[in-house]
Structure 1
Amino acid sequence: MPDEAFRKAMVAEYARLLNEGDVEGALDLFTDDVVFEDPVGREPTVGKEALRRHLVLSVENHVHETPGEPVTSMCDRFVVTHSRVVLRTPAVMSFHIIGIVEFNDEGLGHHVRAFWGMTDMTVGEARRTDTEHQTA
């Protein structure tokens, strides 16, 4: 069973791999039968091959994911993180997402849920957070 430090590190590693365009490395973090709901409420992506197509499309659209501080669970199965995801399709699309990853006993992501709605997405110039306003 993955410990808290491992689960928290997985979030940063996934973002790093995806930002670098390493789809295969990112896929290695998940089970073969992964269920990837992005966003929750739409038909989920099921299995590594389907997830590969989703991640390739993200990389082709210059994805950049910036995860916040992850929070884990006492049951050793979950990590929850707020992330900012930016795509260029070619317009800039910015998403504020709450992600929940459930791990299996081997420490692989088995079920991923990305919560975001239309009001959590900005098309055009990326929305800045209050912190970004203070440092700009």
Structure 2
Amino acid sequence: MNAADVDGLLELYADEVVFEDPVGSGRRTGRDALRAHFEEFIRAGITEIPGEPVAGQDGAHVLVPVTATMDYLPKGPGFAERGWLAAPDAPENARITWDYVLMMRTGSGGLIQELQMFWGRSDIGIAS
């Protein structure tokens, strides 16, 4: 994400990838939908700092804590409408920050087949 290399990112995912961000917002399927999702965040200038991954005992799942920041525009107003954060006084200069956990599941070919992002209202805010 930090390199804004959507094609490189998509090489990590199965064609039929299923993803949900945030969990509870509805599941989407396929690389085309994932491409659109990634491109939205790249347009917003996202920067992600991953934490230490935790591998599942099953050899297929991993959890990764992430701290991210991005421009308030264009996605921030939708977050504010949902009550997830307060709208800033100067939205054109504001940045959103949030902490979340990625859950990824790989398939037998090593590609990511499922991606879920867990975060809630207490995890998101306006960067100071």
TM-score by length of 1: 0.76
Alignment identity in percent?
31
Kindly indicate which of the two structures has a greater share of residues assigned to helix: 1
Alignment equivalent of 2:40, drawn from 14, 32, 57: 57
Partner Cα distance (2:49, 2:67) in 1: 5
Deviates more, 1:88-97 or 1:69-78: 88-97
Question: Residue 118 of structure 1: CA displacement?
Answer: 1.3
Partner Cα distance (1:107, 1:66) in 2: 23
Unpaired runs of 5+ residues, structure 1, are: 1-17, 126-136
Question: Residue 119 of structure 1: CA displacement?
Answer: 1.2
What does residue 117 of structure 1 align with?
120
Q: Which runs of 4+ in 1 moved over 2 A?
A: none
Q: Is 1:70 paired with 2:73?
A: no
Partner Cα distance (1:81, 1:62) in 2: 21
User: 5 Å matches for 1:69-108?
Assistant: 69-88=52-71, 89=73, 90=92, 91-108=94-111
Q: 2:103 is matched by which residue type in structure 1?
A: I
Question: Residue 45 of structure 1: CA displacement?
Answer: 2.4
Q: 2:120 is matched by which residue type in structure 1?
A: G
Unpaired runs of 5+ residues, structure 2, are: 74-91
Which secondary structure does the structure 1 equivalent of 2:38 belong to?
A: helix
Question: Residue 124 of structure 1: CA displacement?
Answer: 3.9
Provide Cα deviations, 1:35-60, integer angstroms capped at 9, x if missing partner. 11110011122110011001011111
Q: How many residues align?
A: 108
Q: 2:21 is matched by which residue type in structure 1?
A: D
TM-score by length of 2: 0.81
Q: RMSD of the TM alignment (CA)?
A: 1.0
What does residue 27 of structure 1 align with?
10
Provide Cα deviations, 1:72-112, integer angstroms capped at 9, x if missing partner. 01211011011001111242011100111000011111111
